[in-house]
């Protein structure tokens, strides 16, 4: 076992078990391995259901996680309880939400994907109204995320040499997507509200995880994370019906004045394009830099979303043509 797990054993013994005898690393078993430097463990020596987070403080400081957790808890959101924490060491003891996320339940056929969407929309509505001091999902942040696509996906993964033609098209696209995002109502955004971060707890209660990167940002961001999930594809008609239901809730918001459903749907799809371009870059980076090659299998779906939106929006036609010429031949994405 590595040094961090040995240190975790000493911390759990002291902070949770009130013991001076460090726990053996072998008593810890990994729970999950996410897209960050955080790791999660269960411990056979602890009888109370807990998950222990290892968050190296130089890479994953805990302050923001703790702050967002507290704001969500105050707002009545279903987040884990914090039992013990040491920010300096980067260790945290949390209530255990189990192993059943929505993706696994969808894939196993025990839940029909569409059955939970109305409840999830209600959860999104309440999340959007969470109050607190959170970073702004600024134009600079949106564009920095988009920059992951040409750097990590196009250049490093696909080995495409990008010329002036590409950068001209790209500059126009990123400006258009950013403008669409910042014009929306700015609300609390979980930022990763998808099937692998929504847990099914006993009694069919939903639990939320991986919310530490929350921001104040576009209204449709969490909606598109849910309905255009990077890991699970919903039928388009179902997606449109849920977008319409969400629009009905928010259409009287001052920042949506004069916007009809067609305009809201366009804003939703463009937000999805921003997110999926970012995710293609992140998945490529996880493979190439972090040696997490399993994320490569998630790229075809996000690129299918990218192709579809670009084929439907006139403002994206130049980028769509570029994708067809240079990226389409390398992908398992159906030609539209």
Rounded CA gap, 277 and 21, in Å? 49
Judge contact between 319 and 310, C-beta under 8 A: yes
C-alpha distances (whole Å) from 89 to each of 25, 49, 69 are 17, 22, 19
Domains, the chain, in order of start with CATH, read 3-95 (3.30.200.20), 102-330 (3.90.1200.10)
What pLDDT score was predicted for residue 141?
98
Q: Per residue in 20-61, pLDDT tens? A: 999 999 999 999 766 678 899 999 999 999 999 999 999 999
220: pLDDT strictly greater than 50? yes
**pTM for the predicted model, two decimal places:** 0.93
Q: What percent of the chain has pLDDT over 90?
A: 90
Residue 333 — very low, low, confident or very high, per pLDDT cuts 50/70/90? Answer: very low
Kindly state the average pLDDT of the residues 219-231. 98
Residue carrying the six token digits 């699970």: 232
Nearest of 78, 107, 71 to residue 94 by alpha carbon: 78
Q: Which residue has the higher pLDDT, 178 or 1?
A: 178
Q: Per residue in 267-282, pLDDT tens? A: 999 999 999 999 999 9
What pLDDT score was predicted for residue 113?
79
Phi-psi region of 120 (alpha: psi -120 to 50; beta: other; left: phi over 0): alpha
Backbone angles phi, psi at 282, to 5 degrees: -65, -45
């Amino acid at each position: 076992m590595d040094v961090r797990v040995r240190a975790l054993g000493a911390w759990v013994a002291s902070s949770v078990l009130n013991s001076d005898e460090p726990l053996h690393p072998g008593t810890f078993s990994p729970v999950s391995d996410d897209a960050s430097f955080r790791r999660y463990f269960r411990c056979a020596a602890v009888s109370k259901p807990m998950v222990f987070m290892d968050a190296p403080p130089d890479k994953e400081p805990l302050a923001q996680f703790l702050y967002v957790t507290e704001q969500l808890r105050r707002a009545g959101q279903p987040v884990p309880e914090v039992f013990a924490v040491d920010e300096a060491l980067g260790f945290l003891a949390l209530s255990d939400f189990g192993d059943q996320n929505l993706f696994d339940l969808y894939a196993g056929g025990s839940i029909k994907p569409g059955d939970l969407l109305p409840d999830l929309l209600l959860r999104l509505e309440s999340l959007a109204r969470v109050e607190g001091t959170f970073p702004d999902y600024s134009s600079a942040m949106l564009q920095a995320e988009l920059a992951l696509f040409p750097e990590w996906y196009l250049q490093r993964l696909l080995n495409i040499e990008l010329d002036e033609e590409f950068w001209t098209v790209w500059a126009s696209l990123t400006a258009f997507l950013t403008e669409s995002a910042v014009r929306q109502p700015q609300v609390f955004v979980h930022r990763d509200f998808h099937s692998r971060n929504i847990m099914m707890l006993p009694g069919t209660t939903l639990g939320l995880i991986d919310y530490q990167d929350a921001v104040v940002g576009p209204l449709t961001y969490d909606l598109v994370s849910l309905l255009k999930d990077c890991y699970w594809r919903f039928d388009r008609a179902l997606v449109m019906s849920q977008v319409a239901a969400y629009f009905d809730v928010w259409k009287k918001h001052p920042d949506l004045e004069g916007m009809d459903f067609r305009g809201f749907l366009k804003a939703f799809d463009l937000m999805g394009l921003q997110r999926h371009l970012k995710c293609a870059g992140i998945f490529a980076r996880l493979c190439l830099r972090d040696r997490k090659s399993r994320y490569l299998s998630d790229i075809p779906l996000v690129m299918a979303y990218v192709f579809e939106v670009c084929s439907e929006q006139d403002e994206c036609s130049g980028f769509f043509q570029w994708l067809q010429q240079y990226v389409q031949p390398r992908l398992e994405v159906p030609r539209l």
